[in-house]
């Protein structure tokens, strides 16, 4: 994802009121992702004219954000340079979320260096991420999201300044399988249970070496669908038309598919047979994608 794409996505979500409660913003440039987080907070809390671009940079709220003194925007700090402790997470986030906003109508928590949270700190934050008050937005800034627990990652929308992996091949037979998985997710009315089992067997027998790329492609499909649901018109940006149909899958269904992909990766690593892994994955996708909103 490019930086401009991410900024456009967030601006659209703010304008349409479709921001998720929590985001992981990933990137090696810590200053850039921190500035994006601050701009997001400023736009949400801005008190400038409603018909003008936000943040305006001139209102009292914007000036408080710029000075680091807005009572409804917390930048989580840590005393030790290499650890973000359980007590610091509890004191600055977990206990504070119950206090309603003082001024802005929203409360934003920016957590730089989120990878410094150990398992205890992340678990202390987990319930807040699972059940945040409606006025709360949590932004976890991280260099590599894989350093966060899967339970945290699965409950946040992930925005990466790093280049998303793309798969390209000149082999038409291989390319066809990627097209088939797009159709399988987006158009379940065309596929029965027997089709899913047959597809799984074909992939396992003939395309096993491409499974890691296929799993990544499924994740990208779901991510793009989530962006489309939040108001981004990805088809206008050159993305494939199937995304609009995939975006009809409920949020819960897309999350189920992403969890099924994670399970598939794990099972392949511990040498569960490819056919068994794909049987389970495609049946989970079929179940999750069957109900459109």
Per residue in 16-57, pLDDT (tens digit) is 788 889 999 998 889 999 999 999 999 999 998 877 888 999
Distance CA 28, CA 216 (A): 21
206 contacts: CB under 8 Å, gap ≥ 6? none
Q: Which of 130-139, 179-188, 220-229 has the highest mean pLDDT?
A: 130-139
Q: Which two tokens stand for residue 187?
A: 């158009």
Q: Which two tokens stand for residue 202?
A: 């074909």
pLDDT digits (tens, 9 = 90+) for 112-129: 999 999 999 999 999 999
For each of the domains in the chain, give its residue range(s) and CATH number, in order of start. 3-160 (3.40.50.300), 172-289 (1.20.272)
Q: Which two tokens stand for residue 102?
A: 């003082």
Is the Cβ–Cβ distance between 237 and 224 less than 8 Å?
A: no
Q: What is the DSSP letter of 90?
A: I
pLDDT digits (tens, 9 = 90+) for 51-89: 788 899 999 999 999 999 999 999 999 999 999 999 999
| 107-111 vs 73-75, strand pairing mode | parallel
pLDDT of 233 > 70? The answer is: no
Distance CA 40, CA 54 (A): 9
38 contacts: CB under 8 Å, gap ≥ 6? 65, 110
Regarding pTM above 0.85, the answer is no
90-110 mean pLDDT: 94
Banded model confidence at residue 1, pLDDT cuts 50, 70, 90: low
Banded model confidence at residue 235, pLDDT cuts 50, 70, 90: low
Alpha helix stretches (DSSP H) within the chain: 3-16, 30-45, 60-67, 86-89, 119-130, 150-153, 172-186, 193-206, 211-229, 242-246, 251-269, 274-289
Distance CA 262, CA 104 (A): 38
Run of H or E including 159: strand 157-160
94 contacts: CB under 8 Å, gap ≥ 6? 124, 125, 127, 128
147-172 mean pLDDT: 80
Percent of the chain with pLDDT over 70: 91
């Amino acid at each position: 994802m490019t930086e401009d794409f991410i900024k456009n996505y967030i601006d659209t979500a703010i304008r349409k009121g479709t921001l998720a409660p929590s985001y992981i913003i990933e990137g090696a440039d810590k200053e850039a992702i921190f500035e994006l987080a601050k701009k997001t907070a400023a736009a949400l809390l801005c008190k400038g004219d409603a018909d003008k671009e936000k943040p305006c940079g001139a209102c009292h709220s914007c000036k408080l954000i710029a000075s680091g003194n807005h009572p409804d925007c917390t930048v989580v700090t840590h005393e030790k340079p290499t650890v973000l402790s359980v007590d610091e997470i509890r004191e600055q986030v977990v206990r504070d979320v119950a206090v309603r906003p003082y001024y802005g109508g929203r409360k934003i928590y920016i957590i730089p260096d989120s990878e410094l949270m150990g398992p205890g700190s992340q678990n202390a934050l987990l319930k807040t991420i699972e059940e945040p008050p409606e006025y709360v937005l949590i932004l976890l800034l991280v260099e590599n999201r894989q350093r966060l627990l899967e339970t945290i990652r699965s409950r946040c929308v992930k925005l990466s300044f790093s280049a998303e992996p793309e798969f390209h091949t000149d082999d038409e037979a291989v390319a066809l399988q990627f097209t088939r998985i797009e159709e399988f997710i987006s158009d379940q009315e065309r596929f029965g249970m027997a089709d899913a089992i047959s597809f799984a067997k074909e992939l396992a027998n003939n395309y096993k070496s491409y499974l890691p790329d296929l799993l990544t492609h499924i994740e990208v499909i779901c991510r793009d669908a989530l962006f489309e649901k939040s108001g981004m018109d990805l088809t206008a940006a050159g993305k494939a038309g199937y995304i609009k149909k995939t975006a009809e899958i409920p949020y819960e269904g897309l999350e189920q598919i992403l969890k099924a992909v994670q399970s598939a990766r794990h099972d392949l690593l511990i040498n569960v047979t490819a056919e068994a892994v794909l049987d389970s994955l495609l049946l989970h996708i079929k179940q999750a994608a069957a109900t459109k909103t």
